[in-house]
Amino acid sequence: MKKIAVLTSGGDAPGMNAAVRAVVRSSQYFGCEVLGVNFGYRGLIEGDFKPMGHLDVSGIIQRGGTILKSARSEKFREKEGRAIAAQNLRNEGVDALVAIGGDGTFRGGTLLSQEQGINVVGVPGTIDNDLIGTDETIGYDTALNTAMEAIDKIRDTADAHERLFLVEVMGRDAGFIALETGIACGAELIILPEALKNIKDIKQSLRDILKEKSRSTLVVVSEGDETGGAIKLSSELEEDFGKYDMRVCILGHVQRGGSPTAHDRVLASRLGYEAVHAIHNGMSEVMVGVISNEVKITPIAETFGIIKKINFELYELAKILR
Ligand code: ATP
């Protein structure tokens, strides 16, 4: 192992910088060079590379976003694009690639390894937490805390006017953020892609909740193709719940930004190191994760082949405690 490339891809997540820093510094520890790839797979195809050393990753552990930038690349979805990317890496003398991203990034990385013989190790970096093989993905904890702080503020104003608030959080296909922020904020109702998506059931639950006297009613809604998110939901509720002072707030991209929490910085540091360690041990097509505070290596294909389930016990708990 002489040279490792590292990229960040897909949606950015707080803690990606801490992971890049760990990859660069761990590579130095193992005595190999690092090539940073700008703009994810797009940069791989365009040969947008830069050598990275100790100082290049200094002062970034606390920064959100990604200094390597991120992008989505349609060309990389085609075999031709991946062949160009692999040739660019070979031209630079790169032995292996650390891909920091989500399930799409890992699908692409797997094909790069299988078709082109480039060793690829994945580091889970996505706020959605929708990857098996790790209890939490890098960025998830920060996104949770950001959403929680915002919802706490909404609660104050909702209380002042006894309003019914629908707050939309990120998570198109997975309700991890909605579930845990819902619990952390004491939401009266939580609507997830995995549960309570039928409008009849939602209305019934809301009726039951509104029967009880409360200072305000907070509904945390996962953005989602099935529920259509908070705006569509509010229009569907208008007819039956029009007498309530209903408001909608979409938290949106604030959930992606901000300084990573201590938890995300430590997780990213650990996983960045473990990715390099795995490459050092000759591994490829694996993802590094942490389960029950222990490092776990998972075949990368499983991470996008198996759906990570939400904890339904937590969902029931939220109903008991509301
Ligand atoms: P997030 O979970 O935050 O959205 P992600 O890694 O899943 O992150 P995607 O946009 O799905 O984000 O994937 C990132 C990039 O990976 C895509 O732009 C594309 O270049 C590549 N990719 C995704 N799916 C595939 C695939 N099936 N085959 C080849 N490349 C893929």
Residues with CB under 6 A from ligand 1: 9-11, 41, 72-73, 76-77, 101-105, 107-108, 111, 126, 128
Q: What pLDDT does residue 126 have?
A: 97
199-211 vs 229-241: helix crossing angle, rounded to 10? 60
316 belongs to a structural domain: no
The verdict on 120 and 216 lying in the same domain is no
The verdict on 45 and 102 lying in the same domain is yes
Classify the C-alpha dihedral 252-265-303-36 as positive or negative: positive
- What is the rounded distance in angstroms from the CA atom of residue 99 to the CA atom of residue 303? 13
Question: Best substitution site from 73, 78, 107, 223 to test ligand 1's pocket, by max atoms within 8 Å of Cβ?
Answer: 107
In which element (H, E) is residue 288 found?
strand 286-291
What are the percentages of helix, strand and coil residues in the chain, rounded to 5?
A: 45, 20, 35
The count of domains in the chain is 2
The verdict on 125 and 268 lying in the same domain is yes
Q: Which of 201, 233, 257 is the last residue of a domain?
A: 257
- What is the rounded distance in angstroms from the CA atom of residue 122 to the CA atom of residue 133? 11
Q: What pLDDT does residue 225 have?
A: 66
CA of 287 to the centre of ligand 1 (A): 15
The three-point CA angle 158-161-163 to 5° equals 55
CA of 89 to the centre of ligand 1 (A): 19
Give me the residues paired with residue 167 across strands.
Answer: 220, 249
Asked if residues 118 and 37 have their Cβ atoms less than 8 Å apart, the reply is no
In which element (H, E) is residue 318 found?
helix 312-321
- What is the rounded distance in angstroms from the CA atom of residue 130 to the CA atom of residue 291? 14
- Region class of 40: left (phi > 0), else alpha (psi between -120 and 50), else beta: left
313 belongs to a structural domain: no
The verdict on 187 and 91 lying in the same domain is no
CA of 158 to the centre of ligand 1 (A): 38
Whose Cα sits closest to atom 2 in ligand 1? 102
pLDDT in tens, the chain (322 residues): 799 999 999 999 999 999 999 999 999 999 999 999 999 999 999 999 999 999 999 999 999 999 999 999 999 999 999 999 999 999 999 989 999 999 999 999 999 999 999 999 999 999 999 999 999 999 999 999 999 999 999 999 999 998 999 999 999 889 999 999 999 999 999 999 888 778 999 999 999 999 987 889 999 999 986 768 999 999 999 999 989 999 999 999 999 999 999 999 999 999 999 999 999 999 999 999 999 999 999 999 999 999 999 999 999 999 999 8
Concerning whether 128 is annotated as a catalytic residue, the answer is: yes
- What is the rounded distance in angstroms from the CA atom of residue 44 to the CA atom of residue 36? 10
The phi, psi pair for 3, rounded to 5°, reads: -140, 130
Q: What pLDDT does residue 283 have?
A: 96
How many residues can be counted in the chain? Answer: 322
Token reading at 158: 């909702």
Q: Which residue has the tokens 């040739």?
A: 87
Question: Best substitution site from 39, 68, 77 to test ligand 1's pocket, by max atoms within 8 Å of Cβ?
Answer: 77
The verdict on 42 and 85 lying in the same domain is yes
Whose Cα sits closest to atom 13 in ligand 1? 104
Q: What pLDDT does residue 28 have?
A: 97
The verdict on 240 and 163 lying in the same domain is yes
Question: Best substitution site from 76, 103, 105, 287 to test ligand 1's pocket, by max atoms within 8 Å of Cβ?
Answer: 105
Query: Which atom of ligand 1 is least distant from the CA of 11?
Result: 3
Query: Which atom of ligand 1 is least distant from the CA of 126?
Result: 3
Q: What pLDDT does residue 80 have?
A: 98
Q: What pLDDT does residue 4 have?
A: 98
Q: How far is CA 3 from the centre of its chain?
A: 27
CA of 130 to the centre of ligand 1 (A): 13
The verdict on 161 and 63 lying in the same domain is no
317 belongs to a structural domain: no
- What is the rounded distance in angstroms from the CA atom of residue 61 to the CA atom of residue 275? 17
Domain that holds residue 242: 141-257
The verdict on 122 and 194 lying in the same domain is no
The verdict on 133 and 153 lying in the same domain is no
The verdict on 39 and 115 lying in the same domain is yes
**What would you measure as the largest C-alpha separation in the chain, in angstroms?**
68
Q: SS3 of 62, please?
A: coil
Catalytic residue among 128, 130, 141, 264: 128
Distances (CA, A) of 160 to 35, 48, 271, 305: 54, 52, 44, 46
Q: Which residue has the tokens 């790169």?
A: 94
In which element (H, E) is residue 96 found?
strand 96-101
Token reading at 236: 């569907």
312 belongs to a structural domain: no
CA of 225 to the centre of ligand 1 (A): 18
Asked if residues 100 and 9 have their Cβ atoms less than 8 Å apart, the reply is yes
CA of 77 to the centre of ligand 1 (A): 8
The verdict on 26 and 150 lying in the same domain is no
Q: Which of 257, 273, 288 is the last residue of a domain?
A: 257
314 belongs to a structural domain: no
215 belongs to a structural domain: yes
The verdict on 104 and 175 lying in the same domain is no
